[in-house]
């Protein structure tokens, strides 16, 4: 979905993608989920972080695609990689071994502690649950990477009071939960949406709206969030996309469509 | 030792009703042609195993041949849902589908344990996830050296593993490269192994980083050029992304799907090799 913002120079999706890429400015290595995270990570390589090492769960380390891959197994990811390893090696040595900075994930449902559901949704009494794709690499990516970024569109369907299923732990139910479970990484550091950016409060681990994208409002965020989301006293506004960022993003997408 | 034989005879011999079958390939080298032969022969009541069930498992499930799915992520990569998979889980069409659901790390380690002929594998996984509550193949074990509690996942030992590879030689030694996924582990974990290949060569040129499965761990090799389409075989063919996108509307509707299957897989003359 590409909803034009007021001045129609860029879409709300583009705001989300550009801001997600900016969140990788200081990363060394990124374990990349397909879809929006992959868009963000490839845009980061084209803009704020040319040296970023992209790692895909299909086994590629250091992929340098010139277009957006349709899938994590796209041939270009393997052909442009520094190396290709087996899937057991990827998960055991590189991920569980604690060698990856940032895990970048999408989500179907997220709650106030940035826990994630990608498994199944409750469709109401007497009806079978609705199927989602499943866990994939996410539980261990979120557990073992140094920190986690989430990117997804903002709606009440996605930002829910209570997850129907916890596929992947974010901050559990508070700041102590990750340590109690012995999860090595720091967990979700930001949730980037088409309306703004939410970050966990260090004291409570609960997500707080810390920045709005140009054109978005607190009321729109509240209307699209299934709980009473706190707003930071220092609420900021993200910088609009630069012409270079927009050009790079559109070039990546256009190249992908030619395939 | 691997026999080099026709796909029809290899599938008829090695894949049986009620088997646990792994058709692996991490978006690359997916054994579509072999799976289509399973559909043509109507081999049924299967437990299908794969980390990333995608379009070919959607077809097997929609054909009504699958009783149970062991997996970690089921979708049409980059496109969306698997509609036949969802219809089976949500509505029991054309038959109910049992699930044994894991994370990728768990599945990868289940194959490693299977290939190692160990009863289980350990990993620092599943913590904080609801997944263990849904399956009896994840438990915990305490490290005898440090006291740390770790996840234990049961070994996977398929009755038969089916993979596609680039090449074999006349003795039935198989070579594959590119994204090698979890194919080596899935093959070594299995009781029987069927490999389709792009071509037979006189001599296997060494490939840096490639995988060789020697003939003595394989039962049958079948020459099936293009046998991974619409996935791809690095060095031979590229991924048919348009097919994955076209699959979405085909699979959404039961009748459209059934007609597609009849015309393209089960129909007279379809896929005879």
| pLDDT tens column, B37-63 | 999 999 999 999 999 999 999 999 999
Could you report the per-residue pLDDT of B142-195, keeping only the tens digit for each? 999 999 999 999 999 999 999 999 999 999 999 999 999 999 999 999 999 999
B51 interfaces chain A, CB cutoff of 8 Å: yes
B215 pLDDT higher than 70: yes
For B245, list phi and psi in degrees, rounded to 5: -70, -40
- pLDDT at residue B216 in the model: 98
| Region B242-262 average pLDDT | 97
Under an 8 A CB cutoff, do B182 and A34 touch? no
- pLDDT at residue A204 in the model: 98
- pLDDT at residue A70 in the model: 81
B271 pLDDT higher than 60: no
Within 8 A of A84 by CB-CB distance, chain B residues are 178-180, 209
Under an 8 A CB cutoff, do B179 and A71 touch? no
Instruction: For residue A185, count other CB atoms closer than 10 A to its CB.
Output: 20
Top residue of B70, B89, B101, B105 to mutate, by most chain A CBs within 10 Å, is: B105
**What's the mean per-residue pLDDT of chain B?**
96
Could you report the per-residue pLDDT of B93-137, keeping only the tens digit for each? 999 999 999 999 999 999 999 999 999 999 999 999 999 999 999
Long-range contacts of range A75-81, CB-CB < 8 Å, 24 or more positions apart?
Answer: A75/B28, A75/B178, A75/B232, A75/B234, A75/B238, A75/B239, A78/B28, A78/B178, A78/B179, A78/B234, A79/B234
The residue among A207, A85, A136, A90 whose CA lies nearest residue B129 is A136
- pLDDT at residue B81 in the model: 95
Parts of chain A with a pLDDT under 50: 1-2, 4-6, 259
Taking CA–CA distances from B86, the nearest residue in chain A reads A131
- pLDDT at residue B77 in the model: 86
Supply the DSSP symbol for A245.
H
């Amino acid at each position: 979905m590409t909803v034009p913002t007021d001045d129609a120079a860029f879409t709300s999706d583009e705001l989300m993608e550009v801001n997600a890429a900016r969140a990788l400015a200081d990363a060394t290595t990124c374990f990349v989920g397909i879809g929006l995270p992959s868009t963000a990570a490839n845009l980061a390589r084209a803009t704020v972080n040319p040296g970023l090492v992209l790692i895909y769960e299909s086994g590629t380390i250091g992929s340098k695609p010139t277009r957006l891959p349709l899938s994590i197994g796209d041939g270009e990811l393997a052909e442009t990689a520094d190396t290709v390893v087996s899937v057991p090696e990827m998960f055991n040595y590189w991920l569980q071994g604690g060698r990856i900075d940032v895990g970048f994930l999408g989500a179907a449902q997220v709650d106030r502690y940035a826990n994630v559901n990608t498994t199944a949704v409750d469709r109401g009494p007497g009806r079978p649950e609705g199927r989602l794709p499943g866990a994939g690499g996410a539980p261990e990516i979120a557990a073992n990477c140094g920190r986690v970024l989430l990117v997804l569109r903002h709606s009440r369907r996605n930002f829910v009071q209570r997850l129907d299923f916890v596929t992947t732990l974010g901050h559990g139910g508070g700041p102590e939960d990750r340590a109690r479970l012995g999860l090595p990484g720091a967990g979700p550091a930001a949730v980037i949406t088409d309306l703004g950016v939410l970050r966990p409060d260090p004291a409570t681990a609960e997500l707080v709206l810390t920045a709005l994208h140009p054109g978005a409002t607190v009321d729109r965020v509240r209307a699209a969030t299934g709980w009473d989301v706190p707003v930071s006293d220092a609420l900021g506004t993200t910088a609009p996309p630069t012409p270079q960022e927009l050009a790079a993003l559109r070039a990546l997408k256009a190249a992908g469509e030619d395939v | 030792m691997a026999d080099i034989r026709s796909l029809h005879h290899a599938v008829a011999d090695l894949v049986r009703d009620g088997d646990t079958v792994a058709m692996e390939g991490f978006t690359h080298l997916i054994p579509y042609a072999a799976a289509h032969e399973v559909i043509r022969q109507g081999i049924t009541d299967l437990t299908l195993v794969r980390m990333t069930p995608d379009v070919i498992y959607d077809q097997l499930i929609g054909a009504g041949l699958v009783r149970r799915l062991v997996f970690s992520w089921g979708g049409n990569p980059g496109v969306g849902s698997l509609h036949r998979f969802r219809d089976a889980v949500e509505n029991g069409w054309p038959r109910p589908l049992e699930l044994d659901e894991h994370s990728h790390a768990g599945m990868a380690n289940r194959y490693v344990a299977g290939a190692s002929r160990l009863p289980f594998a350990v990993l620092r996984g599943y913590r904080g996830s609801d997944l263990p509550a849904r399956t009896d193949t994840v438990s915990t074990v305490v490290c005898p050296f440090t006291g740390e509690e770790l996840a234990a996942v049961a070994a996977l030992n398929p009755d038969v593993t089916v993979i596609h590879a680039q090449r074999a030689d006349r003795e039935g030694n198989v070579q594959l490269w590119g994204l090698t996924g979890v194919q080596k582990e899935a093959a070594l974990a299995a009781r029987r192994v069927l490999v389709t290949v792009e071509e037979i060569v006189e001599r296997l040129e060494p490939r840096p980083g490639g995988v060789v499965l020697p003939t003595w761990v394989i039962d049958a090799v079948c020459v099936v050029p293009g046998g991974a389409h619409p996935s791809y075989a690095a060095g031979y063919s590229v991924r048919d992304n348009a097919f994955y996108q076209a699959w979405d509307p085909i699979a959404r509707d039961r009748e459209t799907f059934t007609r597609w299957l009849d015309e393209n897989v089960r129909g007279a003359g379809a896929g005879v090799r």
